[in-house]
Amino acid sequence: MTASSSTGPTPSLLILGGTRSGKSRLGQSYAEGSAKSPVLVATAEARDDEMRRRIADHRAARDGRWQLVEEPLALHAVLKREARRDRILVIDCLTLWLSNLMLGAHDYTARCEDLAGTVATLSGPVIFISNEVGTGIVPANALAREFTDAQGRLNQVMASACTTVIWVCAGLPTILKPGAPLDIRL
């Protein structure tokens, strides 16, 4: 990723894909390939052993260049505080963030709109990682259907807000929305 021009928008990238599709690895590689200091904003909460293992695996994949900010809910504030020209933020992931909001009975619709509105105001580049959960069967229970609908709406508003959008399937990236300020080499 390269810096934006003084007249263009700050680069922002949304990476979408299914579980274990290679989204996080791609976002990490873009951040590490930039000339900026990488900052991971982790939204996961270690609520069980399986999630603790996933978090440990993600930590092991990053080297000492990375700064870590753990924030399960207040992404808007973290982005405003942490985004700078000399840094590149990787938000991993929006799906867990949305889940945290829903389980905490927060107004997730407003928070998603606020997050999308924040993207254009940031002073440094950011990469958002998010799952695409709407390509499978319709869930059998009401909460799962509500989550699938909310995740689809979140992905849509973020895709609209970000300068570039990439879909990852089986580790293979496809550019869905090319953005001039990003220098993406696939």
Q: Which residues are within 8 A (CB) of 114 and not within 5 positions of it... i.e. 6 or more apart?
A: 76
- Helices and strands (H and E) in the chain: how many: 6, 7
Q: Which residues are within 8 A (CB) of 28 and not within 5 positions of it... i.e. 6 or more apart?
A: 38, 61, 62, 90
Known catalytic residue at 58: yes
- Cα 78 to the chain's mean position, in Å? 13
- For residue 92, the tally of other CB atoms under 10 A from its CB is 23
Contact 1, 126 (CB under 8 A): no
Contact 21, 169 (CB under 8 A): yes
Contact 162, 4 (CB under 8 A): no
Contact 92, 131 (CB under 8 A): no
Q: Which of 25, 54, 58, 62 is catalytic?
A: 58
Q: Which residues carry out catalysis?
A: 58
